[in-house]
Homo-oligomer: A and B are copies of this chain.
C-alpha cells in the first residue's frame, strides 16, 4: 500500500468560550500504517458538535481537553480500508472518535457505532443514527420518560438533536412544543418536524407567556439544549412531576465566571420536578436498539432528516463558531475532500 496523504485539523491554541477559526490550522502528513490489532479508516464525513466547545476549553468536563498541537477531537464516519483486526473487516462503515482528519488509526476502542445492516447514508452515522439521534432517543425516553398525552417542550427545536426529540415525542403520542430562533425555523419545526406549536424566541417579547399559552397544562418534559433565558421561561411553566433533561447549554458562551440566573429550587419543589444531566456515553448498552429503531422510523417516513454539509476540510476551522451562531440548517457536517 503506497503512503497515503493525511490531511488534518490541529488545535492551534487554547480558547475561552466558543473557538473561532484562529484556534485551528490545517496541515498535511503521511497517514500511519495500522499496527497489530489496528485498522485504518478513511473518513468520509467529520462531525461538528456543540460538545466540541467544551473539549477545547480548559475547564472540568467529561474528558480532558484536547492538547494544543493535537488533531481536533471529533466524531467521524469512514470506511475501514486496511485492517489487522479480525473484528473490523475492510469495507465496513464505522463511526467513532476518529478526529478531524482524512485518515485515522483505530484499535476499535474509539468506535461508537457500526453501519452493519443499515442501508442509509454513512453521514447519518454522525447525526440521526449517531450521537444526535441516540442522544435524543435515550435522553427523551429514559430520562424524560414521556407518556402519551403529555406535553414535551424542546429548545433548539430545529437542531439536530432537538428536531429528533420533537419527532420521537410525536411518535410516542405526546404534544410537542418547540422553541427555536427565526420564522424560517418556526416554519420548519411545524411543517417538517411535526411540532404542534413552535415558538420563535427571537421575536417573542414575553417568552414565559408564550410557553404558558403553548402548554396550558404545563411542560411535562423539557428537553433543554440552551440554559439561559429560554430555560427560565420554561421552568416557570412546569407541569406537576415534570422531568427536565439538561442536554446542552448553547446559550452560555463562557462558564468563567459562572452565569447567574433565577434559582430553580422552588420550581423543582413545588412541582416535585426532576432535573438531570444527560451524557449519552452512559447509555452505551442502548446504542444498538436506538440506531435500529431510528433507522426503522426513517424508513417509515416518521422521522425527517436534514443535513447541512460543508464541502471540504477548509471549512472545519470556522465550523464550531458557525454552529453556535445557529447558521446551520440541520446537522452540521464536513465532507472530507
Contacts and interface: CB of A to CB of B under 8 A. Distances in A.
Interface in A146-196: none
Contact of A271 (B231, B273, B277): B277
A138 interface: no
A276 B273 contact: yes
A265 B282 contact: no
A267 B62 CA distance: 11
Contacts of A60: 270
A293 interface: no
Interface in A262-314: 262-279, 282
Contact of A265 (B249, B265, B266, B267): B249
Contact of A277 (B62, B247, B255, B269): B269
A244 to B, nearest CB: 9
A272 B246 CA distance: 9
Contacts of A269: 246-249, 277-279
A246 B261 contact: no
Interface residues of A, number: 35
A227 interface: yes
A121 B268 CA distance: 34
Nearest to A276: B274
Contacts of A62: 270
Q: Which of A224, A269, A270 has the most CB of B within 10 A?
A: A269
A117 interface: no
A232 to B, nearest CB: 9
Contact of A274 (B260, B265, B274): B274
Given A227-B263, A261-B263, A263-B260, A273 B277 contact: yes
A86 interface: no
11 contacts: A61-B270, A227-B263, A227-B265, A246-B265, A249-B265, A249-B269, A268-B275, A271-B277, A272-B278, A274-B277, A275-B275
Given A269-B277, A272-B277, A272-B279, 18 more contacts: A246-B265, A246-B269, A247-B269, A249-B265, A249-B269, A252-B265, A258-B262, A260-B260, A260-B263, A264-B275, A268-B276, A268-B277, A272-B276, A272-B278, A273-B277, A274-B274, A275-B275, A275-B276
Interface of A: 60-62, 224, 227, 231, 246-249, 252, 255, 258-279, 282
